[in-house]
């Protein structure tokens, strides 16, 4: 069955209430951008809809928590909806847990081009253009904790292209749910596409990442449906800030100058490949063997970090949050008879590396009792405890590199 082609923007998870994560010493302009980036990215979504002259916009949940954004959040959305109304672009919004009806203020007047789906049950809407039926959209503003039942999303009985809109994970083992052509889903920070009953199921992700846990470009999706009913998606970046972690390979002969050159090249590459978007970066120089003595000296890390940050400027928008020099080699244990703080530390590090389970390794890093001994009710406990597995490994490996070098200096003395 042939039909009239159409185009729409699919976006979700604006989370206007959540700013980006930075570090205490970022430049002032970047700190301001980290606060504003959710709004900047969301505005780019609406700019995309206007620039691409789409027929409508589909929003699959979690746009904002009104309690946290205050009036600004809803006022911002209403302004964007009004921009679309002036261009006759409708909006179909299926709320998620964050923007559920009971969390949206009733004091805001939503423009009449916006349809917010019911939270009671999936609603079916037939979309027409020039007096002719174009497609059917079935949406549900899923209440917190409610399970998605695919059978509740019924396709158009006349064979029109059918879209299901809901925030959450859709079960794939149910016997019903076929006939929908495109599942517009939400509730995930990263973009993802899979197949559901032979149809495209798509999470566009948040248009703005928030931390090193959400690396890379974020944006929205433009979906083009042709006369054969085939949907093709196109990613459009919308983010104002990106997070990037990269490992730079080194070996035992790599000098400090060589690492500095590699970091400079990595920063330039990140600046070019991210197209002028601000980048917060972590660089990890790592080897499978021993680290060159020139990289084990005290002060090397701070020197490299200072060099990387010196490169930050309007034409090179890459701010380095952290630099590390690490080895993946097994820890060289000191002589069993060697007694010193450094030797004890290397033995401790080896016990952590070789602990049979993660829980046992975690126990080695529980310094809460030691913190209590420092007094003041154990207020240093959180400072001493390293909870994240990746951070724990990074900190330990950096310390091992330095400890070996300092221990060698002790031996020379």
pLDDT tens across 86-132, in order?
Answer: 999 999 999 999 987 666 666 688 999 999 999 999 999 999 988 88
User: Among residues 401, 10, 26, which one has the least CA distance to residue 201?
Assistant: 10
Q: Can you say whether the dihedral through the CA atoms of 103, 106, 109, 111 is positive or negative?
A: positive
The pLDDT, as a whole number, for residue 377 is 47
Q: CA 373, CA 335: separation in Å to the nearest integer?
A: 30
The pLDDT, as a whole number, for residue 292 is 84
Q: Which residues face 183 on adjacent strands? A: 164, 201
The pLDDT, as a whole number, for residue 114 is 96
Q: CA 117, CA 141: separation in Å to the nearest integer?
A: 6
Sheet containing 318-327: order of strands: 241-249, 278-287, 318-327
222, burial (CB in 10 Å: exposed 0-12, middle 13-18, buried 19+) = buried
The pLDDT, as a whole number, for residue 265 is 96
Q: For the chain, which residues score pLDDT lower than 50?
A: 376-383, 412-413
The pLDDT, as a whole number, for residue 387 is 56
The pLDDT, as a whole number, for residue 294 is 84
Q: Where in the chain is the domain with CATH 3.60.21.10?
A: 6-237
The pLDDT, as a whole number, for residue 130 is 87
The pLDDT, as a whole number, for residue 332 is 61
Write the class of the CATH domain 6-237. Answer: alpha beta
How does strand 219-225 pair with strand 161-167? unpaired
């Amino acid at each position: 069955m042939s039909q009239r082609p159409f185009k729409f923007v699919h976006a979700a998870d604006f989370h206007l209430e959540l700013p980006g994560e930075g570090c205490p010493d970022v430049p002032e302009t970047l700190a301001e951008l980290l606060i504003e980036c959710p709004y900047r990215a969301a505005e780019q979504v609406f700019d995309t809809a206007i620039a691409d002259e789409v027929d409508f916009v589909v929003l699959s949940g979690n746009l904002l928590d009104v309690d946290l954004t205050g009036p600004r959040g809803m006022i911002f959305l209403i302004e964007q909806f009004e921009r679309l109304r002036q261009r006759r672009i409708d909006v179909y919004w299926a709320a998620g847990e964050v923007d559920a009806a009971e969390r949206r203020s009733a004091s805001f007047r939503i423009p009449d081009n916006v349809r917010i789906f019911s939270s009671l049950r999936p609603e079916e809407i037939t979309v027409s253009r020039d007096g002719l039926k174009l497609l059917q959209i079935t949406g549900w503003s899923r209440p917190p904790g409610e399970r998605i039942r695919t059978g509740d999303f019924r396709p158009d009985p006349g064979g029109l292209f059918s879209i299901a809109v809901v925030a959450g994970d859709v079960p794939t083992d149910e016997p019903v749910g076929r006939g929908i052509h495109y599942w517009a889903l939400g509730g995930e920070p990263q973009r993802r596409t899979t197949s559901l009953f032979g149809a495209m199921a798509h999470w566009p992700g948040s248009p703005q990442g928030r931390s090193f846990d959400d690396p890379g470009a974020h944006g929205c999706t433009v979906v083009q449906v042709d006369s054969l009913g085939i949907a093709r998606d196109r990613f459009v970046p919308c983010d104002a800030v990106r997070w990037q972690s990269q490992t730079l390979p080194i070996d035992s002969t790599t000098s400090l100058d060589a690492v500095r050159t590699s970091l400079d090249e990595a920063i330039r590459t990140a600046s070019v490949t991210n197209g002028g978007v601000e980048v917060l970066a972590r660089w990890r120089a790592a080897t499978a063997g021993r680290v060159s003595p020139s990289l084990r000296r005290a002060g090397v890390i701070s020197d490299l970090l200072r060099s990387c940050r010196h490169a930050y400027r309007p034409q090179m928008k890459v701010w380095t949050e952290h630099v590390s020099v690490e080895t993946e080699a097994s820890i060289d244990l000191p002589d069993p008879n060697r007694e010193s703080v450094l030797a004890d530390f290397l033995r401790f590090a080896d016990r952590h590396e070789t602990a049979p389970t993660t829980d046992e390794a975690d126990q080695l890093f529980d310094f809460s009792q030691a913190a209590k001994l420092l007094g003041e009710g154990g207020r240093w406990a959180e400072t001493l405890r390293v909870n994240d597995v990746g951070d724990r490994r990074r900190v330990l490996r950096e310390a091992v590199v330095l400890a070996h070098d300092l221990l060698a200096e002790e031996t020379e003395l």
